[in-house]
Amino acid sequence: MAGTRTLFDKAWDAHVVSELGGDMALLHADRILLHDLSGLRALRMLKELGHAVRDPSLCFAAPDHTVSSDPALGGKGKFHETCVVPLAELTAADKIRHYAMGEQGFGILHVIGPELGITLPGASVICGDSHTCTHGGIGALAWGVGTTELVHAMATQTVMHRKPQRMRISFNGELPAWLSAKDMILHVIGAQGAGAGNGYALEYAGSAVRAMSVEGRMTICNLSIEMAAKVGMVGPDDQVFEYLNGREYAPKDEAWDLALAHWRTMPTDDEAEFDKDIDIDVSDLKPQITWGTSPEHVVAVDGLIPDPDKEADPDRRQALRAAQEYIGLNPGARLEGTDVDWVFIGSCTNSRITDLRAAADVLKGRKIAEGVCAWAVPGSEDVKRDAEAEGLDRVFTDAGFEWRLPGCSLCVGANGENVPAGKRCVSTSNRNFVGRQGTDSRTHLASPAMAAAAAVTGQITDVRKLMS
C-alpha cells in the first residue's frame, strides 16, 4: 500500500526475490561483508561444497577480528597465519575486494562499510556478525547472519528471512552536554530489557536522532542487537546524503542523482503504523553505564547497584547475585567512585572520528590516573589518519593512552588482546558478557566521554562533574 509503509517495509519489499510461504522470504543481498572468523570459515565451506561466489563484486572483506592492534607488531598477531593470511588468499582467488591492515580502507567492517560508501541507504547488507545492524545508521537494511547463511549468500546472493514486526523508538528533546548516542541507547536497553526487541526491526526516530551525527546514528543502531533486534535503522536524510557523497563506492554523477531521488522516498510514510512505539525524552538523561554482565544491567552514573533481595522472582534474584559476584560489586553500592584498571576506547560502537573527538575533549590537558592502562583503537585506517591530521593522537598519547592500530581489539579479544582476569575496564564497546574482554574480566559499557573521564580519575566518574 502506498503511503503507509515504514522505512523497513520499503527496504524489505525492494529485496524480495521470492515469497517462501508463511512470513518467510528469499531476499537479495546487495552487500556481503566477510571477516577473518565467520567470513573465512564460510569461504572454506563454500569451497568444500564445490560452489562458486556468485557475485564477487558485491562482496567485501577485511580481517578486523584477529589483527593485532599493537603498533610494535605491525598488525601481525598470533592468528596472522591462521586467519589473516588465509582470508587474503581466499578472497584474492575469488576476486573479492579485500582490505589488509595498513592499507587505506582497512578497518572494522561496520566502520568501513559506510566510510567507503559500500553501505548505502535502502541497500541490504549482511555479514557473519551480529553488529551488522550498525549499517542501519545510514538507512541500510542490515543484519547479522551465521556462517551457513553466509555460504548460502555467497553462492546465491540471497538470504532467507522471516519478516519481523516493526518497532519505533522515538527520542525527543535536547540531549544535555557531555551526553551522546551511547547514553541514549544504553538507557533504552536498561529500561526495556535485553530481550525487548526480539522479533522486531527497530526504527530510531525523533528530534534527538535527527540532530545527531551520522556516526552517532550508527552507534545507536549498533546496539539494536543488544536489545535482541537484528535490525535497527534510521531514515536517511540530507545529513546522510552529504556523508555519502564522494565516497569510494557511492554512486557518482547521474547514478548519484538517480540514487538520491530514490533514497528520498525511503523514510517512513506519515501514515505508517508500527507494531510497537516507544517514546523517550532525552532532556533529563544522565550519563549511563552498565554495572553487570548483560547490556540491560544499566544505571545512571549516580545510580545504585540493584538489590537482588528486592527482586520477587527467585531465578532473577539468583541471576542478579551471580552478575554482582562476577563483577565484584555489592548491592546498593554506588557505581560512581569505583576504581578502574583499564579503559578501552574503540569497537564498531564507538571508534569513529566523532567518538575520538568526544574523548579527546575530555583528555585535553589532562593525564590518566596512575595504574590505569588505557587504549585508544581507531575503527579504521581512515579514522586513524583523520584523527592524526587533527592531532587527536597526540591528545591521547600526551594523556597517557596507547594509540593503537585499527581493528576489533579488546572488544572481544579474538586477537588474543585481553583485559586480565579480575581487572575492571570501562569500555566503549557493546557487550559486558562474562569473559567478553578476557576470562574473568569485568566490563562497564559507557560512552567515549565517560570512558575518558574514568581514565583521568581512575574511577567511574560523571564526566559532567569532571568538566564543570
Partner 1 sequence: MGKFTVLSSVAAPIDEKNVNTDIIIPIKRLVGTDRGTFGEFAFEPWRYLTEGVENPDFILNKMPYRNAEILIAGPNFACGSSREGAVWAIQEFGIRALMAPSFGGIFFNNCFQCGILPIVLPAEIIENFMRQAISDGDNPKFTIDLAANEVTAPNGDRTSFEVEPFRRDALLNGLDDLGMTLTRRDEIGAFQATDRETRPWVYL
Instruction: Name the minimum Å distance from CB 257 to partner 1.
Output: 10
- Figure out which of the listed residues 129, 149, 183, 226 binds ligand SF4, where binding follows CB under 6 A: 129
Return d(Cα 170, Cα 223) in angstroms, integer. 15
Among partner 1, ligand SF4, none, partner that 408 touches (CB below 5 to 8 angstroms by kind): ligand SF4
Residue 412 near ligand SF4 by CB under 6 A = yes
Residue 108, binding choice from ligand SF4, partner 1, none, Cβ under 5 to 8 Å by partner class:
ligand SF4
Chain positions 84 to 113 lying near ligand SF4, rule: CB under 6 A, are 108, 110
- Residue 169 as a binder of ligand SF4 (CB under 6 A): the answer is no
CA 18/CA 359 separation, integer angstroms: 47
**218 vs 373, which CB is nearer to ligand SF4?**
218
Taking the complex as a whole, how short is the minimal distance between the CB of residue 234 and partner 1, in angstroms? Answer: 20
Judged by DSSP in three states, 52 sits in coil
- In the numeric block, the cell 534510521 is attached to 234
What gap in Å lies between CA 325 and CA 452, rounded to an integer? Answer: 26
Q: Any contact of residue 356 with ligand SF4 (CB under 6 A)?
A: no
Q: Give the CA dihedral 295, 299, 304, 310, nearest 10 degrees.
A: -60
Tell me, what amino acid is at 441? S
* Secondary structure (3-state) at 452: helix
What residues between 176 and 235 interact with ligand SF4 by CB under 6 A? none
- Which CB, 268 or 380, lies closer to ligand SF4? 380
To partner 1, the closest distance from the beta carbon of 223 in angstroms equals 12
**Residue owning grid cell 591530521:** 389
Q: Binds 462, which of partner 1, ligand SF4, none (CB < 5 to 8 A, cut-off by type)?
A: none
> Which cell goes with 260?
538520491
What's the closest the beta carbon of residue 102 comes to partner 1, in angstroms? 21
Using the contact rule CB under 6 A, the part of the chain among 38-46, 165-173, 205-213, 408-416 near ligand SF4 is 408-416
Counting beta carbons within 10 angstroms of the beta carbon of residue 1, is it exposed (0 to 12), middle (13 to 18) or buried (19 or more)? exposed
| CB-facing half-sphere around the CA of 134: CA atoms within 13 A | 28
Check residue 451 for interaction with ligand SF4 (CB under 6 A).
no
CB contact set of 238 (below 8 Å; sequence gap of 6+) = none
Interface with ligand SF4 by CB under 6 A: which range of 237-245, 331-339, 384-392, 406-414?
406-414
Judged by beta carbon, residue 69 or residue 324, the one nearer ligand SF4 is 69
Phi, psi at residue 84, to the nearest 5°? -70, -50
Question: Per CB under 6 A, does 347 bind ligand SF4?
Answer: yes
410 binds ligand SF4 (CB under 6 A): no
Burial class of 460 by CB neighbour count within 10 A (0 to 12, 13 to 18, 19+) = buried
Q: Which part of the chain contacts ligand SF4 (CB under 6 A), choosing from 272-280, 336-344, 362-370, 404-412?
A: 404-412
The answer to whether the beta carbons of residues 120 and 259 sit under 8 Å apart is: yes
When the beta carbons of 37 and 184 are compared against partner 1, the nearer one is 37
Among partner 1, ligand SF4, none, the one that 85 touches (CB under a kind-dependent 5 to 8 A) is none
Q: Is 83 in the site for ligand SF4 (CB under 6 A)?
A: no
Nearest to 147, CA basis, from 35, 16, 28: 35
HSE, side-chain direction, 13 A CA sphere, residue 185: 36
Whole-number minimum distance, CB 259 to ligand SF4, in Å?
27
Residue 32 and residue 151: Cα distance in Å, rounded? 10
Total residues at interface with ligand SF4 (CB under 6 A): 13
Out of ligand SF4, partner 1, none, what residue 348 binds, judged by CB under 5 to 8 A for its kind, is ligand SF4
Q: Provide the H-helix boundaries in 160-300.
A: 181-192, 207-210, 214-222, 238-244, 253-263
Give the footprint of ligand SF4 on this chain (CB under 6 A): 64-65, 108, 110, 129, 131, 347-348, 408, 411-412, 429-430
